[in-house]
C-alpha cells in the first residue's frame, strides 16, 4: 500500500511547496471570529464560509458551493471528480469556532507565532483541519488520484443541530467510499494517532427552586434553604467520594489502550500538584457573580451539566438516567426541573479495513514511526449522522491537535511541525486510497 520511491519524494516536496500557502490560508481563517454559538457573529460565520470556498477553489477544487439546511449555519461543499474507477473520498472539517473566552496572551483572532506554535482561536480546532485538506489536495496538482469531496461544516461547535437534515438534503453531493475527518488529536507531537472511538454527549440544564422570591439571609438564613446551596448538594451527588460517577444506569465503555502514564496525563492537562485524579466531568453554574453577590437567600439556581457517554452506550438513555438522578436526589424537598437536551451519540470506528490500513501506512510514513489507535473524549455529531446515511463508507478520524493544543481554552495553538506532518500524511493517504476498491 505504501511506496518509499520517487512518488513519496515528489509528494513530500510538493507538500513543502504548498505549506506557506496553506498556512497563509489558515491565518486568513483565524482572523474571522466565526463563533457559531453567538447569534451576533452570524455575519462572521458567513464570511468564514465564503473564505473557505475561495481557498478550495485556489486549491484546485472546481465545484464549490456554500450551503445550509433550513436555518442552519453555512457549510461549504466542494467536489473534484477523480480518474475513472477511482474511489471518492470525503474530507471533513469545520470552520466554526468556540468563543474566545478570557486568559489569552494575545488577540485570539489575530494569529501569532510564538516558538513552534501558531496561536489563535481555531488555529487548531478546526481551521487547521481545513488547511490540511487544502494542502493535501493542492499538493497533488493535476494528478489527484481519487475523487474528492470536501465538506466544511459551520456548526460543529454547537453540536451540529442540522447536520442530519443537511446530509439528507445533499446526500448526492456527499456520498463517498471513504471519509477522512481532520478534527481529532495525536498522542503526542511526535506520535501520530487514529481515533477509533468518540464519546457521546449532552448538556442538561437543571434548575433547583426553594423560594418564591429572594429573602434577607440574616433574617431567614439557617432554617430556610438557599437554592444555590441545594443545587451544590445536588450536583455533589453525581460523583462518589472517590470521584467516580454515581449515576445509576450509565454504561462504562472501553477505548484502545495507549501507553500513557499518570505523570504524562498530569503534565498534558496542567493538573496542579497535589490534586488527585478523578472521573468528574465539567459543571457550569448559573450563580450570582462574586463581586455582585448580595446577602440574600437565592430562590432558584441553575447549572449546565455536561454528560459524556461511553462508546457503546445509548445517548438518549444515558441522558434520561442523568435527568432521573437529578430529579430524585434533591435535598430538603427542593423542586428540581431538568430541561430537555439534544444528545450526540458515541461512535466506534470499524477498524481493520483497507482504508484503515492505508491510513496507518500514510501516518507511519509521514511521521517515520507507527501510529497508535486512541479513544477521544470529544463528540462529533457528523460521524454518527454520516454513518447512518452511508453505512458502507469507511470512516477515518485523524487530527492536527496534540496534548498541549488547548482547544476550547485560552492560548489555543497549532504545533507547526505536527501540521506539516499531518498535511504530508493526508497527501500520502489520498495516494494510498487510490488502490482501495
CA dihedral 311, 315, 321, 326 (to 10 degrees): 110
Q: Is 327 a catalytic residue?
A: no
d(CA 80, CA 63): 7
Q: What is the mean pLDDT of residues 275-303?
A: 68
User: What gap in Å lies between CA 179 and CA 167, rounded to an integer?
Assistant: 14
| 117 falls within a domain | yes
Catalytic annotation on 240? Answer: no
Characterise 274 by phi-psi region: left (phi > 0), alpha (psi -120 to 50), beta (else): left
**Parent domain of 145:** 6-198+346-433
Q: Of all helices (H) and strands (E), which one includes residue 206?
A: strand 200-209
Is residue 177 domain-shared with residue 134, that is, in the same domain?
yes
Within 10 A of 367 (CB to CB), how many other CB atoms are there? Answer: 20
Statement to judge: residues 330 and 369 lie in one domain: no
The answer to whether residues 126 and 246 belong to one domain is no
Q: Flag whether 264 is in a domain.
A: no
What pLDDT score was predicted for residue 121? Answer: 98
Asked if 15 and 163 sit in the same domain, the reply is yes
Spell out the residues 6+ positions from residue 259 whose beta carbon is closer than 8 angstroms to its own. Answer: none
Ramachandran quadrant class, 406 (left: phi over 0; alpha: psi -120 to 50; beta: rest): left
The stretch 117-132 carries a mean pLDDT of: 98
State the pLDDT confidence band at 315, using cuts at 50, 70 and 90: confident
- Pick from 415, 435, 389, 321: which is nearest to 92 by CA? 389
Query: The whole model's pTM is what?
Result: 0.82
Based on the fold, state whether residues 384 and 421 are members of the same structural domain: yes
Q: 394: closest CA among 126, 148, 89?
A: 89
Question: Which of 142-146, 222-226, 404-408 has the weakest average pLDDT?
Answer: 222-226
**Which of 234-248, 363-377, 379-393, 419-433 is modeled with the greatest confidence?**
419-433
pLDDT at 3: 46
Element of type H or E holding 337: strand 335-338
User: Does residue 262 belong to any structural domain of this protein?
Assistant: no
Q: What is the mean pLDDT of the chain?
A: 89
Per DSSP, the residues of 163-196 read HHHHHHHTHHHH--SEEEEEEEE-SBTTB-EEEE
**Statement: residue 325 has pLDDT above 90:** yes
On whether both 169 and 308 belong to a single domain, the answer is: no
Asked whether residue 379 carries a pLDDT value surpassing 90, the answer given is no
Same domain, 76 and 139: yes
The one catalytic residue among 27, 155, 156, 207? 156
150 lies in the same domain as 176 = yes
Band (pLDDT 50/70/90 cuts) for residue 240 is: confident
Asked if residue 191 and residue 208 are part of one domain, the reply reads no
Q: Which residue has the higher pLDDT, 390 or 312?
A: 390
Q: Which of 90-94, 216-220, 343-347, 383-387 has the lowest mean pLDDT?
A: 216-220
| Catalytic, out of 27, 96, 313, 401 | 96
| Cβ burial, residue 337 (10 Å; 0-12/13-18/19+) | middle
- Total count of domains within the chain: 2
**Whether residues 157 and 225 fall in one domain:** no
pLDDT at residue 4 in the model? 47
| pLDDT at residue 304, rounded to an integer | 87
pLDDT of residue 296: 80
Under a CB-based contact definition with an 8 Å cutoff, are residues 60 and 139 in contact?
no
Give me the pLDDT at residue 1, please.
43
Give the domain CATH number at 332: 3.30.70.360
Please report the pLDDT score of residue 305 as a whole number: 87
28-80 pLDDT tens trace: 999 999 999 999 999 999 999 999 999 999 999 999 999 999 889 999 999 99
Amino acid at each position: 500500500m505504501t511506496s518509499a520511491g520517487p512518488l513519496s519524494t515528489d509528494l513530500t516536496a510538493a507538500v513543502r511547496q504548498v505549506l506557506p500557502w496553506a498556512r497563509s490560508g489558515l491565518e486568513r481563517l483565524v482572523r474571522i471570529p466565526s463563533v457559531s454559538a453567538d447569534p451576533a457573529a452570524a455575519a462572521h460565520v458567513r464570511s468564514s464560509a465564503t473564505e473557505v470556498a475561495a481557498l478550495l477553489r485556489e486549491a484546485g477544487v472546481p465545484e464549490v458551493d456554500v450551503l445550509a439546511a433550513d436555518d442552519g449555519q453555512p457549510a461549504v461543499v466542494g467536489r473534484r471528480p477523480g480518474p475513472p474507477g477511482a474511489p471518492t473520498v470525503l474530507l471533513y472539517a469545520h470552520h466554526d469556532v468556540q468563543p474566545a473566552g478570557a486568559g489569552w496572551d494575545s488577540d485570539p483572532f489575530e494569529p501569532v507565532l510564538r516558538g513552534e506554535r501558531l496561536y489563535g482561536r481555531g488555529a487548531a480546532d478546526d481551521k487547521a483541519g481545513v488547511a490540511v485538506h487544502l494542502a493535501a489536495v493542492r499538493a497533488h496538482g493535476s494528478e489527484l488520484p481519487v475523487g474528492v469531496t470536501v465538506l466544511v461544516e459551520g456548526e460543529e461547535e454547537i453540536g451540529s443541530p442540522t447536520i442530519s437534515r443537511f446530509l439528507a438534503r445533499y446526500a448526492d453531493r456527499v456520498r463517498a467510499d471513504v471519509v477522512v475527518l481532520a478534527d481529532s488529536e495525536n498522542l503526542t507531537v511526535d506520535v501520530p494517532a487514529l481515533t477509533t472511538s468518540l464519546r457521546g454527549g449532552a448538556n442538561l440544564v437543571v434548575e433547583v427552586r426553594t423560594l418564591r422570591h429572594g429573602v434577607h439571609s440574616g433574617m431567614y438564613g439557617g432554617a430556610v434553604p438557599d437554592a444555590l446551596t441545594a443545587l451544590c448538594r445536588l450536583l455533589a451527588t453525581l460523583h462518589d467520594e472517590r470521584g467516580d460517577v454515581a449515576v445509576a444506569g450509565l454504561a462504562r465503555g472501553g477505548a484502545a489502550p495507549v501507553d500513557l502514564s499518570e505523570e504524562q496525563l498530569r503534565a498534558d492537562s496542567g493538573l496542579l500538584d497535589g490534586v488527585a485524579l478523578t472521573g468528574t466531568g465539567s459543571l457550569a453554574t448559573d450563580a450570582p457573580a462574586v463581586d455582585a453577590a448580595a446577602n440574600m437567600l437565592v430562590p432558584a439556581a441553575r447549572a449546565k451539566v455536561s454528560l459524556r457517554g461511553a462508546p457503546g452506550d445509548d445517548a438518549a438513555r444515558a441522558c434520561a438516567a442523568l435527568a432521573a438522578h437529578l430529579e430524585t436526589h434533591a435535598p430538603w424537598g427542593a423542586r428540581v426541573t431538568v430541561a430537555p437536551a439534544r444528545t450526540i451519540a458515541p461512535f466506534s470506528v470499524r477498524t481493520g479495513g483497507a482504508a484503515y490500513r492505508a491510513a496507518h501506512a500514510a501516518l507511519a510514513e509521514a511521521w517515520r514511526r507507527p501510529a497508535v489507535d486512541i479513544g477521544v473524549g470529544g463528540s462529533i455529531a457528523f460521524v454518527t449522522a454520516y454513518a447512518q446515511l452511508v453505512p458502507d463508507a469507511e470512516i477515518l478520524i485523524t487530527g492536527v491537535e496534540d496534548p498541549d493544543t488547548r482547544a476550547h481554552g485560552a492560548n489555543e495553538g497549532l504545533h507547526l511541525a505536527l501540521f506539516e506532518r499531518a498535511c504530508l500524511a493526508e497527501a500520502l493517504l489520498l495516494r494510498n486510497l487510490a488502490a482501495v476498491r
